[in-house]
């Protein structure tokens, strides 16, 4: 669907949103801007907002086109805290904005901070002896993710190494489940490792 801002129609009828905007015969003193209202009864995931500029005293072609891809959806519900905006997409960072509207942004290396991968020190295993190798592999993966954030040019290769460490840790947990650790502890550890692996996949762009 294309939404237009045209300059030579007699009336702005949808899908045209505005007409005859910024008409002038002299050079503008500076950058100009104007606002348009998007239709409230239209939704789309990939629309094109098009600006058509006509210049009468100009060699052909006299028309210039400018486009922007936009999405139109229902307004987000009002929020009071970041927790109100949490969704089921592990690859997004969800927050409550200044206007009490939920904002969702893809996770990037810039979001990597201490504890980004979560923890494997889960309450369900507090009284059990979790194989030390699980903690070591998780710690190495966490360090690698931090290094990837510090060296974006090498991030893809470093994140691959982090993902391998987490897969090895998950394998160790599965082997120990029901033997060295209880099923409950194993399930909790597996969930934590799965969350960590998902976060690494998000940073790699394949989540």
**DSSP string of 47-58?**
EEEEEEEE-SSS
Instruction: Kindly report whether the peptide bond that precedes residue 15 is cis, defined as omega within 30 degrees of 0.
Output: yes
Q: Are residues 104 and 82 in contact, defined by beta-carbon separation less than 8 angstroms? A: no
**Integer Cα distance of 186 and 175 in angstroms:** 9
Where do the H-state alpha helices sit in the chain? Answer: 132-150, 155-176, 183-204
- Tens digit of each residue's pLDDT (9 = 90 or more) over 9-40: 456 777 777 777 777 677 778 887 778 777 77
**Integer Cα distance of 97 and 104 in angstroms:** 10
pTM of the model: 0.61
In terms of phi and psi (left: phi > 0; alpha: psi -120 to 50; beta: otherwise), the region of 115 is left
For residue 168, the model assigns a pLDDT of 97
pLDDT at 91 over 80: yes
Least confident of 1-5, 60-64, 91-95, 168-172: 1-5
Distances in Å between the alpha carbon of 155 and those of 78, 138, 144, 161, 165?
Answer: 36, 18, 9, 10, 15
**Which of the two residues, 75 and 79, has the higher pLDDT score?**
79
**Integer Cα distance of 202 and 59 in angstroms:** 50
DSSP state at residue 125: G
Q: Are residues 51 and 16 in contact, defined by beta-carbon separation less than 8 angstroms? A: no
Residue that has been written with the tokens 């931090």 in this structure: 146
Domain boundaries of the chain, sorted by first residue: 2-72, 75-106, 109-204
């Amino acid at each position: 669907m294309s939404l237009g801002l045209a300059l030579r129609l007699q009336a702005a009828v949808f899908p045209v949103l505005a007409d005859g905007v910024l008409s002038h015969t002299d050079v503008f003193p500076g950058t100009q801007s104007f606002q348009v209202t998007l239709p409230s009864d239209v939704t789309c995931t990939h629309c094109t907002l098009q600006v058509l500029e006509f210049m009468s005293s100009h060699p052909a072609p006299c028309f210039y086109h400018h486009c922007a891809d936009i999405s139109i959806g229902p307004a987000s519900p009002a929020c009071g805290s970041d927790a109100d905006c949490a969704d089921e997409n592990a690859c997004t960072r969800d927050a409550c904005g200044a206007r009490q509207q939920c904002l969702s942004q893809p996770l990037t290396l810039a979001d990597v901070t201490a504890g980004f991968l979560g923890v494997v020190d889960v309450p369900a295993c507090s009284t059990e002896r979790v194989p030390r190798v699980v903690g070591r592999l998780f710690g190495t993966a966490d360090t690698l993710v931090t290094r990837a954030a510090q060296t974006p040019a090498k991030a893809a290769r470093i994140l691959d190494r982090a993902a391998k460490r987490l897969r090895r840790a998950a394998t160790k947990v599965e082997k120990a489940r029901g033997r060295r650790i209880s099923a409950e502890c194993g399930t909790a550890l597996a969930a934590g490792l799965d969350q960590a692996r998902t976060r690494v996949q998000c940073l790699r762009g394949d989540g």
